Structure 1
């Protein structure tokens, strides 16, 4: 359905086990960040009439000369507004993954090395090693470093970890070289940060790692997941509480999902039931596929099922998980590739697809009424473009949506789309 003028303006408009018992490393020296203790993961702008229509979609070409195949949701920004993309490849072909920095102000893109080069530099490389996925998002922590993770896919099955596991990295924005922080048996697919702590989620079994940037020590906690399932994302709120889904198989063959809440001490503090999580269609069960943080500390996220959830901080300091139904009720079996809140208060927007239609749709949800509307996007072909989650915005409020372009069947390439609102 289209947006009517009346809708347009709506309301006026876990046992914790230490994997590093001790460390010979000296504590890190904190690197000052120009913005103080603020970690910027999204830039909010005022709502205008244009936000009630689809944005302008522009493809960005990264002129860095690397043989990448896709950007699987691996985006992020630093506090100066520069955008980062993790460029994955296919195992057995290149076996490495590349990092690119993009400056929206100048349009200049810069290559910032790759996983195998950095593993060799850290003297961790062995012959035949693969680390072809930079899949996590990039977060700039309070120490001024960007944190992210990589992983291998060689030899993995639904119950066996990949041969070369995963790695946690950090780098300064203008430094081509990376610092290796942690190696894991699990593939580290997602990263998040809060204060001194960096978190990484690995598969299988939804293993959560916490890395302390001050002590350089790590702990891990197995949250639990059925064989073969991994959530593409997890959340950390402004209180430093981590939210990771746990999927269990019941005796009757059905599955049960709860959102596990973990405190900064890596103890399970609460369990929140989730009744709409696994995708029963043919888009795959990717867990939490998109999320966005709000100005007041709340968070919204969408599961692969299309179910929309709201994490609310209660008056007593706890948290409540509210299920708000399908993000898009008209097309119930929708996969929402990205989620943004332009102002961090009143609107949720995103790009999605569904089984009933041929192309992508731009979704707009007004939070005071919970009314969702959609517009078809004819310029983005669903058949050839596979787009994954992003939460990244630049200083002008432009949103970045990424994935794979499969129009050339012999050589897939990354697709990066900038979504901009007209002035």
Structure 2
């Protein structure tokens, strides 16, 4: 019997899905969520100890814009953006077990090796999270800012690339080139997603079949959420933003892996004021042990997503402000146990930072100073990146005289 093209395609995907399912079965739920759950410290509300991880320097090394992640071996990954030199972002890997850090490739070097580099091209940012998938690869995106217009009228001239790499290789595999600026990525198991500017364009990559999907979620000119999230069913949750009298309004839109819209839930206090660029959307995220996800917006509001059963839309419910006194820019979230406690960062309004721990069950919130040990203004970003001992990792940028440099910090509440 001769198979139709559709039947042949379905048979191929079925054949590929079996080993993928076997690989998924060997990973824990925490690994599939790019997380780790440990017993909380004896006093989780005290001020943590902060240690700076020294990064390899290179010309133009500029910042880590929340581009962090962990692999299944417990090593910490960071995308270091560039603003000079060859204008090529780099990927770094830190091993907490031995303290070693290594450069695991750069964007232009890999484009050049693959014969894909265009004359004059730059790719200054790895802005997305580093996402481990069931197939053993780490997924991320690179992008540029050349030609990008802040009001949303033009994307970056060189567009973006979607990549994957093995945890022990600096030779990346190129998956996709798109015209939008892919600034954030997320995934779970088989499904990898990336979100592009402008207009919140969502791409989906199937790690089993290699199929790519695309849908325009919608946003106002000049606004791009810094993150979005994907749950254990492979459903993506992306803000849709529109103008209303006096400012912006947003709803969190749920898409299944076929990119079918399943639900849309209003997000209260998504933005303060009318300027689209002043709102950074989802700035913090953390997956809990039961599969629920807590997100924070740049205004400091928290929402809990799910968990939801197969075939059902997730319930999204507000949890109020992260800070006890109301609005604040929440630039990252993490958790120890994935059940009761979440922690995160917020600027103190001067040049320093607050460390905030919240009990999700009892509502207790404690605010402590986060001493980075770096004089002057430091920018910090990063969520859901912890090692096997429950120490969190955040990236950012600081001033070193006239130069801006990237920083990677270990935040330890156990020491």
Same fold (TM over 0.5): yes
> After superposition, what is the alpha-carbon deviation per residue over 1:185-218, rounded to whole angstroms, capped at 9, x for unaligned?
1011111122322111111000000111222221
1:80 paired residue among 66, 73, 81: 73
1:101-250 superposed matches below 5 A: 101-157=93-149, 158=151, 159-250=153-244
Provide the residue aligned with 2:279 in structure 1.
Answer: 285
- Distance in 2 of aligned mates of 1:333 and 1:67: 34
**CA displacement at 1:317 relative to structure 2:** 3.5
2:26 paired residue among 31, 36, 55: 36
**CA displacement at 1:40 relative to structure 2:** 5.0
Provide the residue aligned with 2:4 in structure 1.
Answer: none
Provide the residue aligned with 2:313 in structure 1.
Answer: 318
Provide the residue aligned with 2:381 in structure 1.
Answer: 388
Q: State the superposition RMSD in angstroms.
A: 2.4
> After superposition, what is the alpha-carbon deviation per residue over 1:32-51, rounded to whole angstroms, capped at 9, x for unaligned?
86971442511111123231
1:327-406 superposed matches below 5 A: 327-330=322-325, 332-355=326-349, 357-379=350-372, 383-406=376-399
1:70 paired residue among 63, 67, 73: 63
> Could you tell me whether the CA contact under 8 Å between 1:385 and 1:406 is conserved in 2?
yes
SS in 2 for 1:52: coil
> Could you tell me whether the CA contact under 8 Å between 2:45 and 2:366 is conserved in 1?
no
For these two proteins, the number of residue pairs brought into alignment is 395
> TM-score w.r.t. structure 1 length?
0.87
Gap change, CA 1:280 and 1:377, over 3 Å in 2:
farther
* Alignment partner of 1:412 is 2:404: yes
> After superposition, what is the alpha-carbon deviation per residue over 1:33-87, rounded to whole angstroms, capped at 9, x for unaligned?
6971442511111123231212210111023656411100011111001111100
> After superposition, what is the alpha-carbon deviation per residue over 1:202-239, rounded to whole angstroms, capped at 9, x for unaligned?
11000000111222221100000000100110000112
Provide the residue aligned with 2:3 in structure 1.
Answer: none
- Distance in 1 of aligned mates of 2:24 and 2:231: 22
In structure 1, stretches of 5+ residues that fail to align are: 1-21
**CA displacement at 1:379 relative to structure 2:** 4.2
Q: Which has the higher helix share?
A: 2
- Distance in 2 of aligned mates of 1:381 and 1:284: 26
SS in 2 for 1:290: strand
**CA displacement at 1:176 relative to structure 2:** 1.1
Gap change, CA 1:381 and 1:175, over 3 Å in 2:
closer
SS in 2 for 1:119: helix
Gap change, CA 1:419 and 1:389, over 3 Å in 2:
same
> Could you tell me whether the CA contact under 8 Å between 2:352 and 2:378 is conserved in 1?
no
> Could you tell me whether the CA contact under 8 Å between 2:187 and 2:229 is conserved in 1?
no
- Distance in 1 of aligned mates of 2:25 and 2:68: 21
**CA displacement at 1:131 relative to structure 2:** 0.5
> TM-score w.r.t. structure 2 length?
0.89
- Distance in 1 of aligned mates of 2:121 and 2:216: 26
SS in 2 for 1:319: coil
